[in-house]
Amino acid sequence: MRIAFVYDVIYPWVKGGVEKRIYELAKRLARDHEVHIYGYKHWEGKNEIERDGIHYHGLALAPERLYLLGKRNPFPMLRLASLLRRRIGEFRGYDLVDVQNLFYPGALALKSLPNTVITWHEFWGPYWWRYLGPAGFPGWFAERLLFSAERHIAVSWKTRLDLLSAGLRKPVSLVPNGVDVEFIRSVPPDELESDVIFVGRLIPEKGVDLLLKVLVKVKEELPDVRAVIVGDGPERGRLELIARNLGLEKNVLFMGFLPYERVIALMKASKVFVLPSRREGFGMVVLEAMACGLPVVTLNAPMNAARFLVENGKSGFVVKTEGILGVLSHLLEDGTLRVKVGKKEKAILRNYSWEKIVELWLSEVNPSHP
């Protein structure tokens, strides 16, 4: 098959769950199929390059600022979508075009093609009004317009149920994200040890400010507690200031974006993974943390799909905001409890290996696939 993935930002130049999913699917599909990825041009040189058997198409230079006032900048997205429309004939030449719903202008440009499938990483619905107020109407309306596409994939049960509850009357396949357990097993722990680790983009929804406030109280019992924050984003400056004002400058290390292998190494050198996200479309990093043997603490928030990946009391804990402190303190003090809730590798490998996810994806988008 000739397959195209369409999103605005591209891994490994930009690191996030959606970008990582596309890359992991693409590099495995490229062994037997012709695979292309379209988006911003993050690299120097030619607009079209090939890496790992994948053909990359840079349609426009990546913007210097992906975020505007702390939120994704819509204007470069609109420009990118207009360039997609000019090449609509090119996309008709693919057997399948997998376009990500979060790139709304691009998804709208391609949704009517018979070979297009919309992959839903999140469905916001009424959340648009809480996120942007009246300015959220275009996003709310765009989601409804995407309902007219013929084929849909959801990456989580939550998103699938949200779509069906909102009135989508087309079939919605479930193809979750995965984890490369074999690679994770091969990575040794980092020399930089920590008690707590967070990995993710530094945006308000990730709740890192909440984690910092909890760490202040943890520090009262464990003065030398060390937390590592891996990731970058528009909130980084504000979060570093909060950490200083809370007296945590010696306890919290902001590492920025790092190569994937180093991220895994840092996870393996930590004790507990905390993801205090108020909104999470899937939570691939939760699978990675569990594959590293870490117990996971995440929020029982309505829009946090990552909570469904955690077996409460077995692979981690799903708690309300006020419960993070107690669970985190208990895990840091009781090493046997950490070991007990961290032993979920076999289940992860069985249910979420990328090889299995690729086979599932192929069977959903190509019914003739054996």
Question: Tokens representing 339?
Answer: 């070991």
3-state secondary structure at position 189: coil
**pLDDT, mean of residues 235-244:** 96
Which range is least confidently modeled, 46-50, 68-72, 165-169? 68-72
Closest CA to 186 of 258, 255, 260: 260
Query: Is the pLDDT confidence value at 73 over 70?
Result: yes
The full DSSP string for 41-75 is E-SSS-SEEEETTEEEEEEEEPPS-SEETTEE-HH
Decide: 271 and 195 in contact? Cβ < 8 Å.
yes
Per-residue pLDDT tens over the stretch 127-182? 888 878 888 899 999 999 999 999 999 999 999 999 999 999 999 999 999 999 88
Query: Do 2-178+353-365 and 181-351 have matching folds?
Result: yes
- Angle 225-277-336 (CA atoms, 0-180°, nearest 5)? 45
Which range is least confidently modeled, 288-292, 302-306, 366-370? 366-370
Return all residues near 87 (Cβ < 8 A) that are at least 6 apart: 59
Per-residue pLDDT tens over the stretch 88-104? 999 999 999 999 999 99
Query: Is the pLDDT confidence value at 315 over 90?
Result: no
First CA to last CA distance, the chain: 14
Query: Is the pLDDT confidence value at 370 over 60?
Result: no
Q: What average pLDDT is seen over the chain?
A: 92
Pick the CATH number of 2-178+353-365 from 3.40.50.2000, 3.10.20.70, 3.20.20.220, 3.40.47.10: 3.40.50.2000
Delimit the domains of the chain by residue range: 2-178+353-365, 181-351
Closest CA to 210 of 277, 305, 271: 277
Query: What is the number of alpha carbons within 13 Å of residue 326 lying toward its C-beta?
Result: 7
Q: Pairing between strand 54-61 and 48-51?
A: antiparallel
pLDDT value, residue 130: 80
Question: Tokens representing 181?
Answer: 């357990």
Query: Is the pLDDT confidence value at 16 over 70?
Result: yes
Query: Is the pLDDT confidence value at 68 over 80?
Result: no
Pick the CATH number of 181-351 from 3.40.50.2000, 1.10.10.10, 3.20.20.150, 3.40.50.2300: 3.40.50.2000
